[in-house]
């Protein structure tokens, strides 16, 4: 297998699995710590994806029908997960996978998405309107995503010829 195919496979599989791990982490964290949360209250990531889907359904209603908004939101989440994995693989220098490097990536990704992009594009409530559990959920889930991505880098796919 050529290095390009190994890169693509690592980004698709690693980014997809990491996005799934992020989903599971968000659910588990919410289940453990947010028992008193109102049922209709959403976390930052869900609000941001819901906002993006609403924009897409307004801009192109035939391509993104509102009736499919949940599926569109999930697809957006996984496309971003795969895209960020590919970007990380592209800019990261070669070397052994480490939890520290994955944690740094997760923290930077959380800062970029939750502290910069979501507020700048007004894709959710202001930062001060989220409780500590919601904020920690976002950070912990980004860390889980990034650590999985770190350990799925293309160098680890050498067993596929």
pLDDT digits (tens, 9 = 90+) for 73-102: 899 999 999 999 999 999 987 788 899 999
Annotate 39-64 with b (16+ C-beta within 10 A) or e (fewer).
Answer: eeebbbbebbbbbbbeebbeeeeeeb
* Listed residue (51, 66, 58) closest to 119, CA to CA: 51
pLDDT, residue 130, reads 74
Q: What is the tens place of the pLDDT at every residue in 11-67?
A: 999 999 999 999 999 888 877 876 555 555 566 777 888 889 989 889 998 988 888
Higher-confidence residue of 138 and 31: namely 138
Q: Give the model's pLDDT for residue 103.
A: 96
Q: How is the chain split into domains, by residue range?
A: 3-41+74-157
Give me the pLDDT at residue 8, please: 93
pLDDT of residue 137: 85
């Amino acid at each position: 297998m050529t290095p390009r195919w190994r890169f693509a496979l690592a980004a698709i599989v690693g980014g997809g699995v990491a996005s799934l791990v992020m989903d599971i982490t968000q659910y588990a964290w919410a289940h453990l710590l947010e028992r008193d949360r109102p049922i209709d209250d959403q976390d930052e990531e869900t609000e941001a994806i819901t906002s993006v889907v609403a924009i897409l359904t307004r801009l192109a209603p035939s391509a993104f029908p509102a009736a499919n908004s949940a599926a569109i939101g999930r697809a957006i989440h996984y496309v971003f997960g795969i895209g960020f994995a590919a970007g990380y693989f592209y800019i990261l220098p070669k070397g052994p996978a480490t939890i520290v490097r994955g944690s740094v990536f997760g923290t930077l990704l959380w800062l970029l998405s939750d502290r910069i992009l979501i507020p700048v594009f007004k894709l959710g409530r202001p930062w001060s309107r989220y409780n500590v559990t919601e904020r920690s959920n976002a950070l912990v889930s980004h860390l889980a995503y990034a650590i999985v991505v770190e350990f799925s880098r293309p160098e680890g796919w050498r067993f596929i010829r």
